[in-house]
Structure 1
């Protein structure tokens, strides 16, 4: 939890978090919530689902204050942390004079967390759709396209992944005719 800004965690959990006696207890509280919320975010579900999971009640969701705080404050920190292994491995390979050969999943993990996608293919679809399509809408497009996508190479470049998803979109359009 040292790589997540404390003020972002305090903002999400409020006074109860600040009153905990030590960092270990605060980390335990934060990790429990993050482990529940992050998979929902990355599955492309809407904010009201995040809010309901955080509050453990779907009766009074309001403006999804906690979900918005999670997405706007914690997700960027988590995306940074998720992107570190790829950066470190790439730097190590460059230092030794080798071309980095990273798994696509690892190479795109930081961006996938930031964009709320659970696979390189979902991320490619999100990016291919553009900003005019919501994250939830892009997820629906991905779910429609995934059966048309060809299998990829585990270490393919992300541009190849994007091309595979573009091809899946063409195949889906022909199948709809």
Structure 2
């Protein structure tokens, strides 16, 4: 066998061996399970007065916690400014329930420049409808999170607010509980 032929045969043998080893490793790994539920993304709300209102979510319920939405993890943030006045807050997720393209997430505010907001639970509802997402929040009837009395976990309001055109990119992973 000439030298070139030996190189081709050796190269082919090495390639086949690597492919077989890779396939064996892949078949030994357990199939990746999708998370039980999720809410991610950022959008600005539309207000005719020009308010700058932003909501961002990174909330997840692991597959192993499918039976208990209060085991959700992550954070969400929101801010509301008009003419340089306003506030922002960050919350630690304590519950996430989703159904179809709707998600309700709640959490306790861990950081805020709104006096009295830290330690308050807030809830937000998102309807993921592409670039025309909608959103509602638990303090809609009280004016701000500080005025909300003891809110239970996973409570939000109907998604009555519209996101500003071109900013809606919320993604909801639907929950499939085992009942």
For Structure 1 versus Structure 2, the TM-score category normalised by the shorter chain is under 0.3
> Which protein is richer in helix relative to its size?
1
When you count strand as a share of all residues, which structure comes out higher? 2
TM-score (norm 1): 0.20
Q: TM-score if structure 2 supplies the norm length?
A: 0.20
